[in-house]
Structure 1
Amino acid sequence: MDQVCEACGRIRERPRSAVCEHCGAAPEETAAEEAPSGPRSPAAGRPAPRRDRDEEGRARNARPRDGLGRPLPYGSPGVARQPEGVTRTPAQSLAEAQRLLDDGMPFHAHEVLEDAWKSAPEAERELWRGLAQLAVGLTHAARGNAVGGTALLDRGPAAIAPYADAAPHGIDIAGLTAWAGELTGRLTGSGAVPAAETAPRLRATGDKAGDQAGD
């Protein structure tokens, strides 16, 4: 049976992984995703986990989050999530994800890149998936989670590496790979890194196509 991440509400493709591949939440983070009130579990004697739904009835956690995607108590002011299922051109996806990265919100950038991954042609799906994983890796690093950051910063470059010889959309495969390796080397015992200052450039410097969000 499909297992849904209680932190982000998405179906986990690797249920046994240490972290959710969509939002990067670890089991100890999802354990706190219970509503303040609701039906009580007769076995545990505590409120049953709340399963939020979006307007189309799909599981999606509605708990407010901070700028790094960490869940806040229900009713707290938070940073709005990116709308799910938005269709963008590759240039629009890259421009929006870059804006969010530059603003220190890699979790939100990953949501944009995940939409691109899901709507991309089969030949490019692993590319966009890898970019989303890099954004989640930075999310972990900015939260101070070296283990989760290292895992995603290793996985992302492996996914984008096959595109290095003919990178589509001006994506800087070599630069992103070098960035991930450098950041991974800084994570051991270094604590949290500043998200905005550490954000990578998704496209090669001077790539004029990268400035055309309507491509």
Structure 2
Amino acid sequence: MDSGRGDGGTARDRDGEGRARNARPRDGLGRPLPYGAPGVERQPEGVVRAPEESVGEAQALLDAGRPFHAHEVFEDAWKSGPAAERALWRGLAQLAVGLTHAARGNPTGGVRLLRRGAGVLAEWRRDGGGPRPYGMDLVAVEGWALGLAGEVEANGRAIDPARRAPRLS
């Protein structure tokens, strides 16, 4: 990845194909760190996985307290999967971002995205998506999201994302 930093910092970072992509290292919650700082390994973008593989990889990242990175796995599934499943993966990505915001100490963003993601999953189920796609218990995941949203809204404090990660199945 070319950092594009040869012109006083005004050039955008680009990936190998010329697409804009921030090359700054990131912490475990996806926050950018200064260039040269040690960060956590980033999730590769644009990976096409089997749905069960996406669920397993995202769960491992959630369990490790890395919901931002889990969101990237869900986003890949959303972008590469069949149109009929896009709302499923989008809702899961929103939940992961909501957990990220809640862990970063942004209760407004966390609550909003947790509730939005739960609503997307509920709508997807009502529209015929089913309650247990790829072994996930969407009813339980929706309940987790709404419960956590209420807790974050009430106390406004940052949460530990690994301790509060959902069980997808």
| Fold shared per TM-score above 0.5 | yes
* Separation in 1, partners of 2:145, 2:76: 22
Q: After TM superposition, which residue ranges in structure 1, 4 or more long, deviate above 6 angstroms?
A: none
Hey, what does 1:171 align to over in structure 2? 136
Hey, what does 1:128 align to over in structure 2? 89
Compute the displacement of 1:37 (Å).
Answer: 7.1
Compute the displacement of 1:38 (Å).
Answer: 3.2
Structure (1 or 2) with the greater helix fraction: 2
TM-superposition CA deviations, 1:132-173 (whole Å, max 9, x none) = 000000000101100110111111011111333613212211
1:192 corresponds to which of 150, 158, 165: 158
Compute the displacement of 1:85 (Å).
Answer: 0.8
Aligned length: 161
Task: Give the aligned CA root-mean-square deviation in angstroms.
Answer: 1.6
Q: Does 1:57 align with 2:18?
A: yes
Compute the displacement of 1:190 (Å).
Answer: 3.3
TM-superposition CA deviations, 1:87-140 (whole Å, max 9, x none) = 100000000000000000000000011000001101000110000000000000
TM-superposition CA deviations, 1:17-36 (whole Å, max 9, x none) = xxxxxxxxxxxxxxxxxx98
* Separation in 2, partners of 1:82, 1:55: 16
Hey, what does 2:7 align to over in structure 1? 38
SS in 2 for 1:198: coil
* Separation in 2, partners of 1:130, 1:82: 19
Gaps of at least 5 residues in structure 1 are 1-34, 40-46, 204-215
1:91 corresponds to which of 26, 33, 52: 52
TM-score, normalising length: structure 2: 0.89
Gaps of at least 5 residues in structure 2 are none
* Separation in 1, partners of 2:125, 2:49: 23
* Separation in 1, partners of 2:162, 2:110: 16
Counterpart amino acid of residue 52 in structure 1: D
* Separation in 2, partners of 1:170, 1:145: 31
Q: Which has the larger radius of gyration?
A: 1
* Separation in 2, partners of 1:79, 1:143: 16
* Separation in 1, partners of 2:164, 2:136: 18
Instruction: State the identity %.
Output: 61
TM-superposition CA deviations, 1:160-209 (whole Å, max 9, x none) = 11333613212211111111111111113331100100000112xxxxxx
Q: Does 1:139 align with 2:95?
A: no
Counterpart amino acid of residue 128 in structure 1: W
Hey, what does 2:40 align to over in structure 1? 79
Q: 1:151 to 1:37 in 2, by over 3 A?
A: farther
Conserved in 2, the CA contact under 8 Å of 1:66 and 1:78?
Answer: yes
TM-score, normalising length: structure 1: 0.71
